[in-house]
Structure 1
Amino acid sequence: MAVTVFANATLVLPDRLVPNASVAIDRGRIVEVGGPAKGAIDLGGMYLAPGFVDLHVHGGDGADFMDGTAEAFRAVCRCHARHGTTSLTPTSTVATGPQYDQFLALCGELYGDVPSGARIIGSHFYGPYFARPARGCHPDQEFLVPKPENADRFTKLAERMPLVVTVAPEIENAEWLVRTYAPRGVRFNAGHSHGTFSQVEAAVSWGVRHIDHLFCAMSDRARLRLSQAFPMRGGMLEATLFFDELSTEVIADGKHLSPDLLRLAYKVKGPDRLALVTDSMRAVDQPDGEYWFGAIGSGERVLKKDGVGVTLDGTALASCVMGMDHCLRTMHFSAGVPLPEAVRMASLTPARILGVESEIGSLEVGKRADLVVLDRALNVQQVFVGGERVSGAA
């Protein structure tokens, strides 16, 4: 197989931009990152960045991972590849036992390359261990107390691939869950929680290392003050910002969080502990209207309206409807984050959070040739997964 060279590119490295540079790939891997070169693919000075890595994504292009079919999985992966995402972890919603089992089975079945789409690199098991009062837009279905009879079957996938499980620290048996399964390779997030600062601190001691969608579906001092006497105490928000052991993520769609909150998260956590995620649902690349969040027929009905998902009554947000390229543009142009760091938060940082940074996340020799070509407005022009052009890329 002949070596392919991308020439006349502006490389987006984790810490700098390198103009008039080249990248050579062979058999799906990066074999050289260098200076000026002549090659078959002249990028005309456009940005060449590592493919994006999405740790938190529910759906797109009319499909949801909870639809429970291989074709739904592939449709979501193809959708997000068009937006520059080359690796992702399918994320479940609150559902029923059989639906959880089917979701996990399909994650295992489709682990690896998805033809013409983003690669499935893990699974994000998200829903049964939420605190019900903090469920947000998720269906009010099966919330479980962690016990061997459910936890054993839900965590078997960790033997084969990276598995992330979200748990609210305040629910019964949360400590048992983390202390039992973290040594077996399960990665634990905390989220959809009204926990106190001290409960999050305890969760860090158990082994929790990441917090889902900062500022969203989580407690802070104001929320806790509504139900507790003095003195005021911090919640999950304050603990996330305080503990250096915790990484976190933001939905940078310009709707969930204002630019000032994105700037705050970036300043406090920094680009190595803050990832960009879409948290997007099936309405990505679809017209405005009503959609199911979660499985068709048993999820929650929501609206896509004005560039975001909202509840039917319009009083609350209900997931993102944009791809990672949009989040990158928001972080760079609206929040003012330098481009190398904004790209790092969409690529190398999430790869590190998942523990796969030796394979993906940056333009380095030996890593997979997962690449995205962006114009100066950061619109996706070409996407390559393992060196192969993704069909349907802009």
Structure 2
Amino acid sequence: MTTLAFVGQIIFPDRVSPGVVLVREGRIAEILPQGAHLPADATVISAGDGYISPGFIDLHVHGGGGGDFMDGTAEAFRAALTTNARHGTTRLAATTTVATHEQILATLEQTRAFRLNPEPNGSRVLGAHFYGPYFRYEARGAHPGGPIRPPIEEEFSQYLAYADSLVTCTVAPELPGAKEFALACRDRGVRTNVGHSWATFDQMTQAVEWGVRHVDHLFCAMSDKSKLRQFQMYPMQGGVLEATLYYDELTTEVIADGKHLDTSLLNLALKIKGADRLALVTDTSRALDMPDGEYLIGPLIGGERLIKRDDVGMTPDGKALASSCVGMDHMVRTFQRLTGRPLWEVIRMASLTPARIAGHEREIGSLEFGKRADVLVLSAELAVERVFVDGSELALSPS
């Protein structure tokens, strides 16, 4: 099999250095210094004045190119996977929404199918991020309210039958049945998140004891001391936000599209959690790479309307955000521009950190010997020029 030699500024987890990444049989075979002698059979892929980067990993993504994973069809999956691949996402967790039991099962079935038989020119499916319907109603955000419900074993046991294709499962820990759900996930080897919750600090402490280790989109759809004051005037108590920042056991994520969070909140999250415990996610919808206009969050039957305008999703009344509409390359560029952090650190938050959160860091997430050759060629401006998964180049469709 031909050896690929990626030549340029290599983005490692702790630095950017010139060199060569050699790839054989879909794996990273060797890292050579700049100017090293290359194998005779090597096909050279030069980044020019750009960069050689690990592929991006997105743990919270709903769709793209007009398709939402909750449509539950192969066509929608293909649209979402090929669209996100254009933005450098080589692996992702197909994220569900609040929906009916049957709709969720259909999406889990498609998730398993695409995990086992990948879309050749799309992002690879790590599994599903089971996200909804186990939300607190008041914290539902832009999700439909009707299908929201607490976890009961008769139902969630059917979801956990797909444990081989589940990456993470989200639950609001204040709901009845949340403990049982979290423990069942732990028993099946599925990681558990907190999201769309108005839990108190004490309830978050209990969730950590159940094995919860991640919190969805920091600062969004979660309780804090101000929100909880309506229930208890004194003493003030912390909520999901404060507990996420406090507990070292908890990792979290930010939507760095420049619309959801400003520079101060991005810097605060990074300062407290650090690059090893803070991932970049897109939370992008079917409106990714689509014209401005009206779309649905979630399934075509029963989804909630959003309006794409100014590269962000908003509720129809324009009073609240309703998801992102940009890809992971945009998140990387925006986070670095707003915070001024080193490039290697920002790329790490879009690659190795989410790989660790998902439990896949031994296989993916960085350009290191023996790992899968998920490689991006980025321009000097961090635009995605070429995408390789397992050492094979994807034929990227135009946006």
3-state SS, counterpart of residue 121 of structure 1: strand
Match of 1:234 in 2: 238
Give CA deviations for 1:283-307 in whole Å, capped at 9, x if unaligned: 1101111001111132001100111
Letter in 2 for 1:26: R
Match of 2:281 in 1: 277
3-state SS, counterpart of residue 248 of structure 1: strand
Letter in 1 for 2:5: V
**Do 2:82 and 2:397's aligned partners in 1 also have CA atoms closer than 8 Å?**
no
Q: How many residues align structurally?
A: 391
Give CA deviations for 1:71-117 in whole Å, capped at 9, x if unaligned: 11111010011000000000001001110110111111111432100
One of 251, 254, 260 as aligned partner of 2:255: 251
Give the Å deviation of 1:393: 6.2
Letter in 2 for 1:101: L
- Residue 177 of structure 2 corresponds to residue 173 of structure 1: yes
3-state SS, counterpart of residue 54 of structure 1: strand
In the superposition, the TM-score normalised over structure 2's length comes to: 0.96
Give the Å deviation of 1:145: 2.3
In the superposition, the TM-score normalised over structure 1's length comes to: 0.97
Q: Which moved more, 1:319-328 or 1:44-53?
A: 44-53
One of 77, 83, 94 as aligned partner of 2:81: 77
- Residue 8 of structure 2 corresponds to residue 4 of structure 1: no
Letter in 1 for 2:31: V
Match of 2:27 in 1: 29
Letter in 1 for 2:211: G
Letter in 1 for 2:131: Y
Give the Å deviation of 1:162: 4.1
3-state SS, counterpart of residue 236 of structure 2: coil
Match of 1:116 in 2: 121
**Do 1:259 and 1:335's aligned partners in 2 also have CA atoms closer than 8 Å?**
yes
**Do 1:52 and 1:347's aligned partners in 2 also have CA atoms closer than 8 Å?**
yes
**Do 1:383 and 1:393's aligned partners in 2 also have CA atoms closer than 8 Å?**
no
Letter in 2 for 1:374: L
CA–CA distance in 2 between the matches of 1:167 and 1:102?
20
Give CA deviations for 1:260-305 in whole Å, capped at 9, x if unaligned: 1000000000000000000000111011110011111320011001
CA–CA distance in 2 between the matches of 1:45 and 1:360?
25
CA–CA distance in 2 between the matches of 1:185 and 1:144?
23
Give 1:371-390 correspondences, 5 Å limit.
Answer: 371-390=375-394
3-state SS, counterpart of residue 40 of structure 1: strand
Give the Å deviation of 1:69: 0.4
Q: Which moved more, 1:23-32 or 1:203-212?
A: 23-32
Letter in 2 for 1:124: H
- Residue 53 of structure 2 corresponds to residue 49 of structure 1: yes
CA–CA distance in 2 between the matches of 1:5 and 1:373?
12
Q: Which runs of 5+ in 2 are unaligned?
A: none
CA–CA distance in 1 between the matches of 2:295 and 2:166?
30
3-state SS, counterpart of residue 324 of structure 2: coil
Letter in 2 for 1:120: V
Give 1:96-135 correspondences, 5 Å limit.
Answer: 96-112=100-116, 113-135=118-140
Match of 2:154 in 1: 149
**Do 2:16 and 2:344's aligned partners in 1 also have CA atoms closer than 8 Å?**
yes
Q: How large is the Cα RMSD of the aligned pairs?
A: 1.2
Letter in 1 for 2:27: R
CA–CA distance in 2 between the matches of 1:72 and 1:281?
12
3-state SS, counterpart of residue 262 of structure 1: helix
CA–CA distance in 2 between the matches of 1:186 and 1:144?
20
Letter in 2 for 1:57: V
Letter in 1 for 2:153: P
Q: Which moved more, 1:303-312 or 1:110-119?
A: 110-119
3-state SS, counterpart of residue 369 of structure 2: coil
**Do 1:220 and 1:235's aligned partners in 2 also have CA atoms closer than 8 Å?**
yes
**Do 1:87 and 1:121's aligned partners in 2 also have CA atoms closer than 8 Å?**
yes
3-state SS, counterpart of residue 17 of structure 2: strand
Letter in 2 for 1:4: L
CA–CA distance in 2 between the matches of 1:316 and 1:368?
40
**Do 1:162 and 1:354's aligned partners in 2 also have CA atoms closer than 8 Å?**
no
Give 1:293-312 correspondences, 5 Å limit.
Answer: 293-312=297-316
Q: Which runs of 5+ in 1 are unaligned?
A: none
**Do 1:68 and 1:103's aligned partners in 2 also have CA atoms closer than 8 Å?**
yes
CA–CA distance in 2 between the matches of 1:42 and 1:239?
45
- Residue 376 of structure 2 corresponds to residue 368 of structure 1: no
CA–CA distance in 2 between the matches of 1:348 and 1:301?
34
**Do 2:130 and 2:166's aligned partners in 1 also have CA atoms closer than 8 Å?**
no
Give the Å deviation of 1:227: 3.0
Match of 1:137 in 2: 142
CA–CA distance in 2 between the matches of 1:162 and 1:172?
22
